[in-house]
Copies of this chain bind each other. A is one copy, B any other.
Amino acid sequence: MISPIIFTVSLLLSSACHAAVQDFCVADLTAPQSLVGYACKKLETVTVNDFVYSGLGVAGNTSKLKVAVTWVTVPEFPALNGLGISLARADLAVGGVFPIHTHPRATEAIIVSEGKITAGFVSSTNTVYYKTLKQGDVMIFPQGLPHFVMNAGATPVQIFVSFSSENPGLQVLDYSLFSNDFPSELVAATTFLDIPQIKKLKAFFGGTG
């Protein structure tokens, strides 16, 4: 009565093995990236440490920039590969600002764990939704919409961030326009900004042209 069951174990395990690799697919960062992510690390080499990331307990260094981001996406935490979620920690010193940016491939949810912020986004009907948030408040920025976060208080801000993709992407408006070789005349023609303003910000953000 017992032995049959023990046989059952091996029977069913063998039939399950091929499926198990798809419970998760810890990224092999050395393999070429496909349209949908990385190839899977061999199951035999996966340990619990692949599923644990340490380091969100420490604030990023805001001494120089007033803002810092600690990313927990596939490159930092390969176990997220294919699982449709990623994280970050954002720290803002007093006066710190995350300028307008978008995440082309993810909705962002923030939890204010310390301090006070003003945060907002602009919809594609050009409505601006912004509000001042306190510790314990949550706000979401729907996928692909430009948004910003700034410290609105007199104390440092700590935010826990979640994304609806392991690969949210990031596009910062000022860097798109002013940190590269986008010719000033083209920027002017396609943004209606004045050339002197463009030149000033290109100098500021290390752009040329």
Complex contact B24–A56 (CB within 8 A):
no
- Of residues 155 through 169 on chain A, the ones whose CB sits less than 8 Å from some CB of chain B are 160, 162-164, 167-169
Q: Is A133 an interface residue (CB 8 A)?
A: yes
With a CB–CB cut-off of 8 A, which chain B residues contact A82?
35
Neighbouring B residues of A45 by C-beta, 8 Å: none
Chain B neighbourhood of A112, CB < 8 A: 57
Q: Which of B69, B136, B179, B189 contacts A126 (CB 8 A)?
A: B179
CB within 8 Å for A56 and B23 given contacts A36-B34, A47-B129, A163-B85: no
Within 22-38 of A, Cβ neighbours of B (below 8 Å) are at 22-25, 31-38
Write out the residue numbers on chain B whose beta carbons fall within 8 Å of the beta carbon of A144: 23, 102, 104-105, 144, 169, 171
Is the CB–CB distance between A169 and B20 below 8 Å? yes
- Contacts known (A9-B179, A55-B136, A99-B191); A164 close to B204, Cβ less than 8 A: no
Determine the chain B residues whose CB is within 8 A of the CB of A24 once the complex forms: 123, 142
A154 at the interface (CB under 8 A from B): no
The reply to whether B182 and A87 contact each other, CB–CB distance below 8 Å, is no
A6 near B204: Cβ-Cβ < 8 Å: yes
> Smallest CB–CB gap between A109 and chain B, Å?
5
Besides the contacts A4-B66, A6-B204, A34-B40, what 11 more A-B pairs have beta carbons closer than 8 Å?
Answer: A11-B69, A17-B125, A19-B73, A20-B124, A33-B40, A47-B129, A48-B131, A54-B136, A77-B140, A102-B102, A126-B171
